[in-house]
Amino acid sequence: MAKPMHPTPMLDTLETGPWPSFVSGLKRLAQDKDYVVDVLGQLETSYRTRKGYWKGGTVGVFGYGGGVIPRFTELKDDSGQPVFKDAAEFHTLRVMPPPGMHYSTDILRKLCDAWEQHGSGLIAFHGQSGDIMFQGATSENVQKAFDAINALGFDLGGAGPAVRTSMSCVGAARCEQSCFDEARAHRTVINSFLDDIHRPSLPYKFKFKFSGCPNDCMNSIQRADMAVIGTWRDNIQTDETLARRYFAKHGMTELVNNVVVRCPTKAIQVVDAKQVKAGPTISSVKVDDTHALQIDNRDCVRCMHCINVITGGLAPGKDKGATILVGGKRTLKIGDLMGTVVVPFMKLETEQDREKLVELAQKIIDFFAENALEHERTGEMIERIGLVNFLDAMGIDADPNMVSCPRTNPYVRTDGWDDEVARIAAKKVA
Ligand code: SF4
């Protein structure tokens, strides 16, 4: 039986809302664990004073330089605030999830058992950086908890100035829009940089994220130093049965208002079924006996909107691969940055393709390690030195796909583009 609870009037109000509350979860754990009683007391103090009372330190496991976030309470001596001695140590283990975050219930139960034995029992699936956060171990139990979790086949993730834990979307296992094998690409890349994850030696953090299609469910364009986003380079595929089914259910008004006018580049239109254009860059599908959707794929910017709305009726093309972007990050020194395209299209089907991806990642990380200032992310480094210099160092030629809004940018000449498309199409036919 644990010690009596501290009064927590502010936390209690969080339990009154319609959703399950983490406070109720912590109270349940506090029935057996004294230190959770004190964690709740400290949290209530934080809410009252609007101050955090956790401080860092140095805690780790044998052979690793990161992966454990030390948390020591500042409220263990008499400092005018209530004292919570039992919460003196409440460290977090960051553990890498499997690609796509697929678990069996059996492994989840085993992870829970291991953490109940050696830690508080409190687990967050998943933290901001994608890790499973095992929260609340004493310094003495950190190694024991890691050994138990490691024996189940899981490894610590990154922390500090290192390659961080990566994330990949649920992928082809449960999503028809997937354009490459995200899980395999994720695992291949991360296995190549384990040393950089476990022994922080970079100027700052470096994150990979893998999204199977341009919906970018991992938000990789905003948040990854190197984002791998699935795409296609041929025409959108169509299925007449499913397109007709959509139209029968939703009608013309919704088709126009929710699909056609929302295409950012006006690539898609409704036409008379008898007047559909033919051509190597045109996709078309009848939605009833008199109307058809017609897409000029030269103008499609792969925003995914029409495909998301008429799922199945429209689908990504057959020639699939990924776009590589570098330099996305949330606010730091120079504000938010979106990733910049460095490779517009890369096939990711074979082992050799994935090795090329690893080679590119290695080049980028090496360059980042040598050229970034301390506490500077890749995007900030590229802003400082210039994209041209970065591309030069990577051995990549500049390409209009790297220019934001190339159609409205006076530095990009588009004369000759139509000839180029015709030449490529003629080559394909031949
Ligand atoms: Fe338009 Fe292409 Fe987006 Fe469809 S995926 S709405 S055609 S830009």
pLDDT of residue 2: 67
Classify residue 422: in a domain, yes or no: no
The answer, yes or no, to whether any atom of ligand 1 lies below 6 A from the CB of 301, is yes
CA-based end-to-end distance of the chain: 80
Of 22, 163, 136, 153, residue with least CA distance to 97: 153
Same domain, 69 and 216: no
How many degrees, rounded to 5, is the angle at CA 132 between CA 131 and CA 134?
A: 125
**Residue 382: phi, psi to the nearest 5?**
-65, -40
pLDDT of residue 285: 95
Same domain, 71 and 176: no
Tokens of 96: 């890498």
The answer, yes or no, to whether any atom of ligand 1 lies below 6 A from the CB of 304, is yes
Same domain, 105 and 250: no
Classify residue 364: in a domain, yes or no: yes
Classify residue 424: in a domain, yes or no: no
| Contacts (Cβ under 8 Å, ≥6 apart) of 421 | 281, 298
Nearest ligand 1 atom to alpha carbon 295: 7
pLDDT of residue 422: 84
| Last-in-domain residue among 262, 291, 315 | 315
Same domain, 98 and 191: no
| Last-in-domain residue among 86, 120, 151 | 151
Classify residue 344: in a domain, yes or no: yes
Nearest ligand 1 atom to alpha carbon 259: 6
Classify residue 267: in a domain, yes or no: yes
* Mutational test site, ligand 1, from 265, 270, 297, 311, max ligand atoms within 8 Å of CB: 265
Give the strands of the sheet with 91-95, arranged side by side. Answer: 68-69, 91-95, 132-137, 122-125
| Contacts (Cβ under 8 Å, ≥6 apart) of 79 | none
Same domain, 193 and 308: no
50: left (phi > 0), else alpha (psi -120 to 50), else beta? Answer: left
pLDDT of residue 13: 95
Give nearest CA residue, ligand 1 atom 1: 263
Classify residue 425: in a domain, yes or no: no
What's the gap in Å between 236 CA and the centre of ligand 1? 9
CA 116/CA 235 separation, integer angstroms: 52
* Mutational test site, ligand 1, from 263, 269, 294, max ligand atoms within 8 Å of CB: 263
Q: What is the dihedral of CA 195, 200, 202, 204, to 10 degrees?
A: 130
Alpha-carbon distance values, 244 to 14, 154, 267, 402 (Å): 48, 47, 20, 37
CA 140/CA 53 separation, integer angstroms: 21
Q: β-pairing, 167-168 with 208-211?
A: parallel
What's the gap in Å between 305 CA and the centre of ligand 1? 6
The answer, yes or no, to whether any atom of ligand 1 lies below 6 A from the CB of 302, is yes
pLDDT of residue 159: 86
- Per the structure, the count of domains in the chain is 3
The answer, yes or no, to whether any atom of ligand 1 lies below 6 A from the CB of 300, is yes
Q: Which domain holds residue 76?
A: 9-151
What's the gap in Å between 260 CA and the centre of ligand 1? 9
How many CB atoms within 10 Å of residue 144? 16
Same domain, 21 and 121: yes
Same domain, 271 and 339: no
CA 99/CA 103 separation, integer angstroms: 10
What's the gap in Å between 237 CA and the centre of ligand 1? 12
Give nearest CA residue, ligand 1 atom 6: 263
The answer, yes or no, to whether any atom of ligand 1 lies below 6 A from the CB of 267, is yes
Longest dimension (CA), the chain: 84
The answer, yes or no, to whether any atom of ligand 1 lies below 6 A from the CB of 172, is no
The answer, yes or no, to whether any atom of ligand 1 lies below 6 A from the CB of 307, is yes
What does pLDDT average to in each consecutive run of 10 residues of the chain (430 residues)? 86 92 91 90 94 87 88 82 86 94 95 93 88 93 95 92 93 92 95 92 94 95 95 95 96 96 95 91 94 95 96 96 93 84 94 96 96 93 92 88 75 75 78
* Mutational test site, ligand 1, from 216, 302, 405, max ligand atoms within 8 Å of CB: 302
Same domain, 268 and 126: no
The answer, yes or no, to whether any atom of ligand 1 lies below 6 A from the CB of 156, is no
Same domain, 109 and 44: yes
| Last-in-domain residue among 126, 151, 176 | 151
Q: What is the CATH number of the domain that holds 248?
A: 3.30.70
The amino acid that residue 240 corresponds to is: E
Global pTM exceeds 0.85: yes
Classify residue 179: in a domain, yes or no: yes
Q: What is the CATH number of the domain that holds 65?
A: 3.30.70.2500
Give nearest CA residue, ligand 1 atom 2: 300
Classify residue 412: in a domain, yes or no: no
Same domain, 24 and 104: yes
Same domain, 302 and 378: no
Same domain, 207 and 327: yes
Of 326, 355, 370, residue with least CA distance to 225: 326
Q: What is the CATH number of the domain that holds 387?
A: 3.30.413.10
pLDDT of residue 1: 58
Nearest ligand 1 atom to alpha carbon 301: 8
What's the gap in Å between 185 CA and the centre of ligand 1? 26
